[in-house]
Structure 1
Amino acid sequence: MAATQMTFLRNRPYQAVSMSHFFIDVLNSSRNLLVAIIAVAIGLTNTQVGIVLLLYNVGGSLSQPFFGWLADRIGARWLVIGGLGWMIGFFGLAALSGDWLALIALTAAGLGSGAFHPTGTMVASETSQTSKGKATAVFFFSGQFGLFLGPVMAGLLLQQYGRPGYIVLPALAVIAFVYAWQYLPINRQALHEKKENRDKARQTPGLPWPVFVRRGVPLIIIIITGSTVSIAAITFAPKLFTEMAYLPAYVGLLSGFYMLGSATGGIVGGALADRVVWKWVIVLGMAGMVIPIYFYIPAAGVVQVFLLLAAGFFSGMPHTILVLMVQSLFPGRQAMASGLALGLMFTGGAIGSFGLGIIADRIGLATALQATAVLPIIGLVAALFLPKR
């Protein structure tokens, strides 16, 4: 039975988008370590770091609904290949150029992430109708595992070879680029079916407005609070640890543990999505974040590692479910809905992190990061108002 449910793993297009997701997020997460090192080298304030990361995340996230809309019409191939190729080019430039040009390249790279994420999510969620939650969760796991390995590998490369050594990571991503080019075709039959589904959706009454609002508003609150906590942790914790004179390899390892926890939590949450009432998985994730988020800053050694793993685990649990819940609000428009969900995650988190940077310049970065522990409590309360499915 389990083997039957996992047949989606043998699907070539699914493999292509999952492999691409891994390398996209290796680059995404290692970006934070690059920015932290450049920021300390040229003396950027926390607010300025927040602006750099805001531009990257907003550029990548505000474009996601558009790219999702486009994917529903032209298919996944060129958006997956183009998005990954775009990121390979700009991250390669960031490795080999001067500090300011590297910051510009890292900012521009966000559009590639924006093109890939809603498109890849669409392919993953459509691969298996019997194990939709599991297939989507494994796709997200590939990205989360990339988010774990990215800072670890980047830290080792930067410590040994400096920024030019970082070129290894975009070079490795060429493997996924070639695989996607080979095995991700334009599925014209699927495009035709999507067009028919869109036509039917236009003729079918959507959710009543009060129901849409009752479901949508709590989702927005949950997504913004949860993503702000996560993006703040993976963005500003490396800068804090760098300021504390931690070696780049150790900073990368600590950042990676958060993402390893998030990857594991995403798999657990996705598996539960096929068996348990969705809202309670979200409630558990929000509740579980509070204590480790508050205490990982003052902790040290093994305790700090454990708390980062726990914080990441609980933050990752609701991820798949939130995307599927947003998709359920827009029948026949899965890629666009994925773009809206992921775009809101990145935009909300980026704006929240920018605000955190401003606050951190006034009260201190460590104190500001600890204060983000209140956000999951707000998300937990909002989750209680969600319907059962």
Structure 2
Amino acid sequence: MSQQAVSQRREAPKASETTIYKILIVIGLCHLLNDAIQAVVPAMFPILEKSMGLSFTQLGMIAFALNMVSSVMQPVVGIYTDKKPMPFALPIGLAFTFIGVLGIGFAPNFGMIVISVIFIGIGSAVFHPEGSRVAYMAAGSRRGLAQSIYQVGGNTGQALAPLITALILVPLGQIGASWFSIAAALAVFLLIYIAKWYNEGLSSKPFMEKKKNTNQTNQTGLPKEIKRALVLILLLIFARSWYISGMTNFYAFYGIKEYTLTIKQSQLFLFAFLVSGAFGTFFGGPLADRFGKKKVISFSMLGTLPLSILLPHVSPAIAFIFLVLTGFILMTSFSVTVVYAQELVPGKIGTMSGLTVGLAFGMGAIGSVGLGYIADLIGLQMMIIGLGMLPLLGLTAFLLPSDQKVWEWNKQ
């Protein structure tokens, strides 16, 4: 059985094993631009809180509107495009983002801001499942690395949010957000190029062979073991997303209150957390290709726990170091969980991407409202302390099936 599997791998077409780095870099850059625009929303929270007098709950509702629209639509888009791929949905989605970011810059009230971020959420929902499919098609034999290149673009875009606040939004105010319409326009043009390559790839031999395998998978239901593994992956994403949401949306306020930092200084702390997370995302994929996906996922959760618990109780200098370490370790699992889910259910690339990444946005959305309400109710400091306990849920990673087991399930 194992010899047959090895011989099948040797007979596989070389084209399907080739990693197309040019496409991966371009789609990663588009991911960076998309998520940098999306990151403008939480980056504006300190400014909106002052200019419009918004409460933590209202700020959480803005994040909820952005992330919930994206998370609800992502699996829907993924399911549909698994059946009928839509290459040119990528630039169309970013056109919605273009409208949304312009709207934020000129929104006169809370209601218009919510409507604008819904447009950005729609663009993100369309982009992420199809962008992940492009990364999968261009991956060849290096799926972990390919997904890391794609996902690190998005995380780098998110990491730019504090710099956006310090360099653009603080001096220019709310209208500064409209400048990011230029980034959206650039992404649209790049995605037209990607869409043409994607469209040509749909008729290729490797893709058609994968399509046949997908049809076979559709005819049989998922075994209980795979369903159980998917539930565990979603639980891990839940814990990680709530923690990241709390840090992204509220840690700047914590730094201002507890450490007497300025807005610019607090954004640098947050930048350290996010940019180290981007590095963690990039290294997570290659590490998983070498050491195994389960090991990387388990390490990211176990390694984060002591740091997240101690973080609210240390000095500003130590907190900065802990933020760097926490961001790096926690985010090594980001792209790996996507690839793990895709390999659990082969042939459902868009669905699994929409479910895992989309769920991350959705859990972040619910977390934004819930954590904002808790901060208003018991105080920001107590909320941050409680937040540090969330990685405890991540220890369920040790219950995941091994990579070898997943590979055996795929061969049955």
Q: Name which of 98, 102, 105 aligns with 2:108.
A: 98
Q: Tell me the alpha carbon deviations over residues 348-367 of structure 1, each in whole angstroms, 9 at most, x when there is no partner.
A: 23223322222211211122
- Between the aligned partners of 2:314 and 2:175, the Cα distance in structure 1 is 33
Q: What is the CA-CA distance between 1:320 and the residue it aligns to?
A: 1.4
Structure 2 unaligned blocks of 5 or more? 1-16, 404-412
Query: Structure 1 residue 85 and structure 2 residue 101: aligned?
Result: no
Q: Tell me the alpha carbon deviations over residues 208-263 of structure 1, each in whole angstroms, 9 at most, x when there is no partner.
A: 22x12331222121111111101111112234446677444333322222111111
The answer for the alignment partner of 1:20 in structure 2 is 30
The answer for the alignment partner of 1:235 in structure 2 is 249
The answer for the alignment partner of 1:198 in structure 2 is 214
The answer for the alignment partner of 1:31 in structure 2 is 41
Is the Cα contact below 8 Å between 2:239 and 2:390 reproduced in 1? yes
Is the Cα contact below 8 Å between 1:257 and 1:308 reproduced in 2? yes
- Between the aligned partners of 2:244 and 2:272, the Cα distance in structure 1 is 13
Q: Name which of 336, 352, 358 aligns with 1:337.
A: 352
Q: Name which of 107, 113, 125 aligns with 2:136.
A: 125
Q: What is the CA-CA distance between 1:264 and the residue it aligns to?
A: 0.9
Is the Cα contact below 8 Å between 1:64 and 1:339 reproduced in 2? yes
- Between the aligned partners of 1:161 and 1:375, the Cα distance in structure 2 is 36
Counterparts of 1:145-164 in structure 2 under 5 Å?
Answer: 145-164=156-175
- Between the aligned partners of 1:93 and 1:240, the Cα distance in structure 2 is 29
Q: Name which of 395, 398, 408 aligns with 1:384.
A: 398
- Between the aligned partners of 1:300 and 1:103, the Cα distance in structure 2 is 36
Query: Structure 1 residue 262 and structure 2 residue 277: aligned?
Result: yes
Aligned length: 380
Query: Structure 1 residue 138 and structure 2 residue 149: aligned?
Result: yes
Measured on the aligned residues, the alpha-carbon RMSD in Å equals 2.3
- Matching residue's letter, 1:226: R
The answer for the alignment partner of 1:350 in structure 2 is 365
- Between the aligned partners of 1:218 and 1:255, the Cα distance in structure 2 is 29
- Between the aligned partners of 2:333 and 2:187, the Cα distance in structure 1 is 27
- Matching residue's letter, 2:387: T
The answer for the alignment partner of 2:340 in structure 1 is 325
Identity level (%): 27
- Between the aligned partners of 1:383 and 1:254, the Cα distance in structure 2 is 29
Is the Cα contact below 8 Å between 2:34 and 2:187 reproduced in 1? no
Q: Max radius of gyration: which structure?
A: 2
- Between the aligned partners of 1:79 and 1:194, the Cα distance in structure 2 is 21
Q: TM-score, normalised by structure 1?
A: 0.90
- Comparing 36-45 with 53-62, which one deviates more in the overlay? 36-45
The answer for the alignment partner of 1:52 in structure 2 is 62
- Between the aligned partners of 1:81 and 1:247, the Cα distance in structure 2 is 38
Q: Name which of 267, 285, 292 aligns with 2:307.
A: 292
The answer for the alignment partner of 2:195 in structure 1 is 184
Is the Cα contact below 8 Å between 2:342 and 2:353 reproduced in 1? yes
- Between the aligned partners of 1:379 and 1:301, the Cα distance in structure 2 is 26
- Secondary structure of 1:98's counterpart equals coil
Q: TM-score, normalised by structure 2?
A: 0.85
Structure 1 unaligned blocks of 5 or more? none
User: In structure 2, do the counterparts of structure 1 residues 384 and 151 end up closer, same or farther at CA, with 3 Å as the change threshold?
Assistant: same
Q: What is the CA-CA distance between 1:32 and the residue it aligns to?
A: 0.3
Q: Tell me the alpha carbon deviations over residues 248-281 of structure 1, each in whole angstroms, 9 at most, x when there is no partner.
A: 4333322222111111111221111101132221
- Comparing 102-111 with 254-263, which one deviates more in the overlay? 102-111
Query: Structure 1 residue 305 and structure 2 residue 320: aligned?
Result: yes
Q: Name which of 26, 51, 73 aligns with 1:63.
A: 73
- Between the aligned partners of 1:351 and 1:280, the Cα distance in structure 2 is 29
Q: What is the CA-CA distance between 1:197 and the residue it aligns to?
A: 3.4
- Between the aligned partners of 1:58 and 1:365, the Cα distance in structure 2 is 23
- Between the aligned partners of 1:247 and 1:71, the Cα distance in structure 2 is 46
The answer for the alignment partner of 1:8 in structure 2 is 20
Is the Cα contact below 8 Å between 2:296 and 2:332 reproduced in 1? yes
